[in-house]
Amino acid sequence: MAYSSEEFNTHNSLVETAAIQVSRGIRFLLCPEEGLPKISDAEIVKLYDVWGDYARAMDISLKMTWHSVANRPMIPLAPDEDHYKPCRRMAAVIMERNVRGELSATPYLKGAVEAIRVNIDSCAFHPLTCACHYRTGWTFDNEKLVNGLRWDLEQSLATQVTGTSAKEHNVMKCACGACHAIREMNGLSEMYEKSLDKMNSYGGDSDFVKKLFETVQGVKYDSKCPHGDPFYACMSCSH
């Protein structure tokens, strides 16, 4: 060990104290039902930066990478507006995980996910940099939870963009995958808006879905599968 226990304890105490301050500062976002007083976004950023400075100093001084601050930047807070409230709540959960660990953040994650689901049709169109779409860094049941949310967001997006019915579940999956591929490749929400305009320039939403299905699956949209069903409606053949 290249450092003494006294050095470790000194640095660790500063990091932990700063982490607790972040956690207290964002609790009004983590637990909106408690009606706690708000602090400004600027204050939250300041608290997070203080934690980051202490964590970085600890890693440098003790020649360690326990905190990996570079891999845990503060996720941007969405505007303080009604349709972004679930996103701000999720951002707070991610901050809690970053500064105090996944175990500490787990009790808050389910509530944040459910809040986003209530706001699903709005969140589906938020940029991928928004906390409602953020899913990296979780493990086990938490990972399953955020991946399930991702699917719900994609399904909502595809339904709103293409008008795809629930019966055409697999076609919807192709459409939403294409939507998100465009968004991730462009990296900018305004470019995504342009992509939606382009999609609507086809001969109707249904035509776009049919052409997309035929391109991805390599068969005609309304052809019959070996089971005698329309290809798009057969889970085994079109999945």
How many other CB atoms are found less than 10 A from the CB of residue 144?
11
As a whole number of angstroms, the distance between CA 159 and CA 207 comes to 14
As a whole number of angstroms, the distance between CA 85 and CA 89 comes to 6
pLDDT tens track of the chain, all 239 residues? 567 888 989 999 999 999 999 999 999 999 999 999 999 999 999 999 999 999 999 888 888 877 666 568 888 899 999 999 999 999 999 999 999 999 999 999 999 999 999 999 999 999 989 999 999 989 999 999 999 999 999 988 888 887 754 345 455 555 555 555 555 555 544 444 544 454 454 444 556 556 655 655 556 656 666 555 665 555 445 44
Model confidence pTM above 0.75:
no
Bridge partner residues of 230 (DSSP): 224
Residues 6+ apart with CB under 8 A from 42: none
Helix (H) or strand (E) holding 171: helix 169-186
| The pLDDT of residue 213 | 57
**Residue 38, phi then psi, degrees to nearest 5:** -85, 155
- Nearest CA to 116 out of 134, 143, 140 is that of 134
